Chain A
Amino acid sequence: MIIFSIKNAFRKKGTAILASLGVAFGLMLVFVVSAFTAGLKVQFEDNLTRTLGIVNVIETSEIGPESKLPIDIVEKIYATEGIGGSILGYNVETQAPFLFTVEYADKLRNTGDAIALSGLNASIDEEWEGYTTNLIEGRSFIPGQNETIIGTNLRDIAQFPVEIGDIIELTLNPINATRVNLTIVGVYQSINDGTPVFVPQNYFIYTDIQFIWDMLAEVNKTINTYSLVQFRFDVRSNLETNQFVEKINNASENGDFSPTYVSAFALATFYEAVEENLSVIDTFTAVLGVITILAGGMAIIVTQLMSVSSRMKEFAILKATGWKNVHIFVNIILESLTLSLLGAIIGIGIGFGMIFLLSGESSPFGAAPAIVNFIELIKVFVYAISLGILGGLYPGIKAARVRPVVVLKNE
């Protein structure tokens, strides 16, 4: 019966393939969008897990290089009641002014992109398992050697030499042209936070924190500070993390860290918010699926109605040979399913092509890789089957209702 129906579905090849292509286009859209959504989801899920329990602390109302936390802030936070005992580890960072790297700003990908130079304490970072321990090439910087490590993201887009051994020239004072060189000695694995490529971003390069302090002192005689302190708390959920965030913020408001005021925030909160937005895309995909089913169903109804009308005598014959109504109905449904499943296969085929094309540098979905898992494929086939059945319903009933006597009319 199945083979019989498949053969019949292609009696009129042109229209059959056209209908399938219509279906294929719709299913392709559903497939591609859901593959990318799945990719984004996994990435945000990853980021959520990776950032679980991490709390960033900066100086209130200041960001980046402007945030200046006294070095003893770490001890003070450890000493705050109800906090210290739950801290698993910490890391510190001092970001240099963007001025230092301003000459590279127009050698990146987008207007607004910048290189952010930041200092790490190599031994603290090692314990934290930070960037200095995530090198995919070369080695970490050695304190006092004017060395730096750059991220894979910078390496991939830089329009200046960024091989190991190449020099990054810092401008300390543009007026008297004071310059210092940093040698690239390693490349760390940068983290894809899902930012779309067209959004301006900072490419972080790291060096020894003492180097940054020395340079800052040379420029404007400041005391040594951190721009960012990160803590990792012993928690199971972002909710718990946020309780610690609140405690730190409350302590600061109480003046516990006076004269400094700090703002704490959980990294995961950001990803959580983004993930919620992804459910909007999910709804969008579902709507797309329904539209595809309706439109594809229409294409199949029209094709099948045309086909059925021209074959009424044939169904009458089949009835004369003992086919039951339900047999004819099932036959038409199988024919529609053939068209819609062919559509699904073509759609998935084209979809894979699209995913391949869109997965490159210029992906509108950010650098997130599309993920094609079993569920996505099943979903496409479920849509295909639904619209095949939907599209075959009316033509099938029409064909099944034929009275066998019509066969002998108009001879």
Chain B
Amino acid sequence: MLIKLEQVSKIYGEKETEIRALDGVDLQIDFGEVVTIMGPSGSGKTTLLNVIGAMDSPTSGRVLINNRNIANLPERSLSEYRKNILGYIFQNFYLLPNIDVLGNVLVPLVPYIIREESKQHAISLLKKVGLEGRESSKVSKLSGGESQRVAIARALINNPRIILADEPTGNLDSKTGRNIIDLLLKLSYERKTVIIVTHDPRIAHTVSEHKKGRNIWIKDGKLIQDPDFDIYEWD
């Protein structure tokens, strides 16, 4: 799955008060790549992820997914795209409290008929993220790391080609966070593209050591090739 951004800008506000959250971003990500997006707070990381994930449309520029520009598609086509191609993972997990672990993994399929094989798929995904046998646990009883694993399984249920994660380890201690990143790295072996927004330089480091790993830096809405600052100073 090829992701290509051409001169993508996202501008919030009007004239004097305008904020250029993204400012002429050119970017290409090949399938199977694991990419971290690093940058100071407010630099536009989340905005970039949203534009790629069809959650937000850019003010200008083209967002090509397999040569198809999704920048200005109507909501109908976008939901189709989100359903079939994307898996989203959030800092705060956002599991539904009133249904069990298995139910949460199956949430993306709720509007459709949930077949037995979908259930088996969900169970195998839970096994993959290390939650075997926890299908009927209450999500409120799960630890942070376990919750994020459920969220990852949910993101994978539609068999997406692109996984987008916005600070997936932000609410986790470093050891648990490390496990989650390992899990995401493994996905690249299934030729899934993984894009991770993070503040944590150790994660960036881990990813950069990965065969298909790469780090991207962003500052004031612009991509920076070689950061002229020490990434370890940010925290």
Chain A CB within 8 A of B91 CB = yes
- Mask: chain A, 367-411; 1 = CB below 8 Å from B; 0 = not: 000000000000000000000000000000000000111011001
Q: Are B82 and A330 in contact (CB-based, < 8 A)? A: no
Contact with A322, one of B83, B91, B99 (Cβ below 8 angstroms): B83
Considering the complex, give the chain B residue whose CB is closest to the CB of A400: B75
Query: At the interface, yes or no: B188 with Cβ under 8 Å from chain A?
Result: no
**Closest approach, in angstroms, between the C-beta of B216 and any C-beta of chain A?**
18
Tell me whether A50 is interfacial, beta carbon within 8 Å: no
As a 0/1 sequence over residues 28 to 70 of chain B, the CB contacts with chain A under 8 angstroms (1 = contact) are 0000000000000000001001100101100000000000000
Residues from chain B with a CB closer than 8 A to the CB of A404 are: 55, 82
Residues of A within 8 A of B136 (CB): none
Determine whether the beta carbon of B111 is less than 8 Å from that of A408: no
**Chain A positions 65-93 with a Cβ under 8 Å from a chain B Cβ:** none
Contact flags (1/0) for A305-339 with B, using CB distance below 8 Å? 00000000110011111111101001100000000
Per the bound structure, the CA–CA distance linking A53 and B149 in Å amounts to 83
Neighbouring A residues of B167 by C-beta, 8 Å: 411
Asked if A405 and B75 sit within 8 Å, CB to CB, the answer is no
Question: Are B110 and A322 interface neighbours, CB within 8 A?
Answer: no
Q: Using Cβ atoms and an 8 Å threshold, which residues of chain A touch B50?
A: 405, 408
Complex Cα gap A408–B51 (Å): 12
Q: How far is the CA of A11 from the CA of B50 in the complex (A)?
A: 29
Q: 22 A–B contact pairs at CB < 8 A?
A: A1-B110, A7-B98, A8-B98, A313-B94, A317-B88, A317-B90, A319-B79, A320-B82, A322-B79, A322-B83, A324-B75, A324-B76, A324-B79, A324-B80, A325-B79, A327-B110, A330-B111, A331-B111, A408-B90, A408-B166, A411-B166, A411-B170
A residues near B (Cβ < 8 Å) are 1, 4, 7-8, 10-11, 313-314, 317-325, 327, 330-331, 403-405, 407-408, 411
Contacts of A408 in B (CB 8 A): 46, 49-50, 55, 90, 166
> In the complex, what residue of chain B is closest to A401 when comparing beta carbons?
B75
Q: Is the CB of B82 within 8 A of A327?
A: no
In the complex, A318→B111 CA distance in Å? 10
Name A321's contact: one of B56, B76, B99, B107 (CB within 8 Å): B107
Contact call A321/B154, Cβ cutoff below 8 A: yes
Cβ-defined contact, A4 with B92, below 8 A: no
Check: B96 CB closer than 8 A to any chain A CB. yes
Q: Are A405 and B56 in contact (CB under 8 A)?
A: yes
Q: A314 to B96: give the CA distance in the assembly, Å.
A: 8
Asked whether B94 lies within 8 Å of A322 as measured between CB atoms, the reply is no
Assess whether B84 is interfacial by the CB under 8 Å rule: yes
User: Nearest residue in B to A411 (C-beta to C-beta)?
Assistant: B91
Instruction: Judge whether B193 is part of the interface by a CB distance below 8 angstroms.
Output: no
| A313 to B155 CA separation, bound complex (whole angstroms) | 16
Total CB contacts across the A-B interface at under 8 A: 84
Q: Nearest CB to that of A9 among chain B residues?
A: B98
Name B157-176 residues within 8 Å CB distance of A.
158, 166-167, 170
A11 to B110, CA, bound (A): 17
* A319-B82 Cα distance, complex, nearest whole Å: 8
Q: State the Cβ distance, B111 to closest chain A Cβ, in Å.
A: 4
Docked complex Cα distance between A314 and B92 (Å): 11
CB neighbours of B201 from chain A (8 A): none
Residue pair A321, B82 in contact (C-beta under 8 Å):
yes
- Which chain B positions have C-beta within 8 A of A405? 50, 55-56
Whole-angstrom distance from the CB of B195 to the nearest CB of chain A? 14
Chain B 73-115 interface mask (CB, 8 Å, partner A; 1/0): 0011001101110111011101011110001000110110000
Give chain B nearest CB distance to A8 CB in angstroms.
7
- Enumerate chain B residues within 8 angstroms of A321, measured Cβ to Cβ: 82-83, 87-88, 107-108, 154-155, 158
User: Which residue of B53, B82, B111 is within 8 Å of A1 (Cβ)?
Assistant: B111
Q: Are A325's CB and B53's CB within 8 A? A: no
Q: Which one of A320, A327, A330 contacts B53 once the chains associate, using CB atoms below 8 Å?
A: A320
- Shortest CB–CB separation between residue A335 and chain B, in angstroms? 12
CA A1 – CA B110 in complex, angstroms? Answer: 5
Determine the distance from Cα of A52 to Cα of B98 in the docked complex, in whole angstroms: 64
Contact of A317 among B76, B83, B94, B103 (CB under 8 A): B94
Contact of B98 among A1, A11, A324, A331 (CB under 8 A): A11
Determine whether the beta carbon of B88 is less than 8 Å from that of A320. yes
A322 adjacent to B55 (CB under 8 Å): no
